[in-house]
Amino acid sequence: MSTLKGAIFGEMERIRSRALDKNNPHGIHAVLHYQSGWFVHWAEGPSAALRGLLQHLQHDPRHHSLHTLHISRGLRLLHTPWSMAMSQSTEPAVQFGRRVIALREQLEKGKQYSPPSVLRRLSAPMQLTRAQALPDPEAFHRVGICAASGNAAFDMVEWLAAQHGEPVVRRRFAGERDMDGSSEYVDFMENDHPCRMIAVARTGLSHGLRRAFLPDWPYFVMLFTGSPPFDDDLMTRMVAACEGLPVAPCLLGVAPDSITHQRMRHMAQTAGLDYVIGDITTPDNCAGIWEVVREQLQQAGPPPNSAWDVPRLAA
C-alpha cells in the first residue's frame, strides 16, 4: 500500500527512471499500476534478479504491507522493459485492499490466476451483478477495438454504455519514456455471458501492458477508413503489437469497401494473423458494428476458466 501523498504520477515517473537504469541490466521487465492508494508491481525476469528486486522493494519507504499474489515460470508476457498505468477510480483503499487479501488467500490455498488476470481482478474487476453470481466472474468475453482515424473506437464504447446503462471506465497508460495512450471500457451482459469492450488509442497498441493483455482477447475490432495511409498504419501497429505473443486475437475488420478489406487481410495474413471480414460499413455505424461482434461471440461460445495451477518452485 502506498505511503505517498499528493500527486502520484510525478513520483511514478521518478520510479520509472530509476527502474529502467536498475532493471535493464538484470533482464527485468515490469509493470507498475497505481489505484486507490495501492501500487501493483508485476515483474518478470531471472529468478535471482527477481529475488533481489523483491528484497529491495520490501525496504522501499514509499509503500508498506507487501503481498505476493502470483508466482510462476514460463515465457515472458511483458515484451517491453517498463509500463505503468493509473486508474481514475474513486474507490476507497480499503475496498481495493480486500481484493488484494482475497487473492493472497487464494494463493495460500493453492489457487492462482494468470498475471494479466491478477492485475485485472485488482484494478478492473468485473462488477456486474449478474456476473458475480457466476462460478468464475473473471471468465468474461474481452473485445478490443481501435480506429485507424478519429475517436470511433471510443465512441463505440460510449454507445454500448448508453445502450446498457453502464458506466465507462477510463485509464491512462505510459511506457518507457512518456505518456503513450489512453483506454476506456464498458461491461455488460451478452447472451448470459459478461462482456467487456475496450477502446484502445492507436499509440497504445505498442504499450507493454496492453500487449500483455492481447492474448486474453479473442477478438480485436479494427475500424478502417478506406484511406490507405491511415489504415495501413493501424495494421502495421497491430502486427507489431502481436509479434512474439503466444496467442494473438482474431482481427475483426470493419471497412467502407471490399478493396480495403482485401488489403488489410493480406497484411494480416502475411504476418500470420487471422483476419475476419466483419462488415462493409463506416466506423460510425455503432449498431452495425456491434451486430458483427455479437455474431462472433456467439460462435466463440462460453468464455474460458481463468484459474492457473500454483507451481512448486525450488527454494
Q: Domains of the chain (ranges plus CATH)?
A: 9-123 (3.30.70.100), 129-300 (3.40.50.300)
Q: Which residue has the cell 486508474?
A: 87
Proportion of the chain in helix, strand, coil states, percent, rounded to 5: 40, 25, 35
In this predicted structure, what is the pLDDT of residue 23? 86
Residues 6+ apart with CB under 8 A from 12: 32, 34, 84, 86, 174
Sites in the chain below the pLDDT cut of 70: 1-7, 175-180, 306-315
3-state secondary structure of 93: helix
| Cα 258 off chain centre by | 31
Q: Which amino acid is at 17?
A: S
pTM equals 0.87
Give the whole-angstrom CA distance, residue 233 versus residue 249: 18
| Per-residue model confidence as pLDDT tens digits over 262-292 | 999 999 999 999 999 998 999 999 999 999 9
Helix ranges (DSSP H) in 86-151? 93-108, 115-123, 129-132
Partners of 172 in the β-ladder = 86, 182
In this predicted structure, what is the pLDDT of residue 48? 93
Angle between helices 93-108 and 115-123 (to 10 degrees): 150
Give the whole-angstrom CA distance, residue 140 versus residue 209: 19
In this predicted structure, what is the pLDDT of residue 65? 79
In this predicted structure, what is the pLDDT of residue 90? 83
Enclosing H/E stretch for 213 = helix 208-213
Q: Which residue has the cell 507489431?
A: 240
Pairing of strands 29-35, 38-44: antiparallel
3-state secondary structure of 219: strand
> Which long-range contacts (C-beta less than 8 Å, at least 24 apart) are formed by 113-117?
113/70, 113/138, 113/306, 113/307, 113/308, 114/70, 114/216, 114/306, 114/308, 115/42, 115/70, 115/72, 115/77, 115/212, 116/77, 116/212, 116/213, 116/215, 116/216, 117/216, 117/306, 117/308
3-state secondary structure of 272: coil
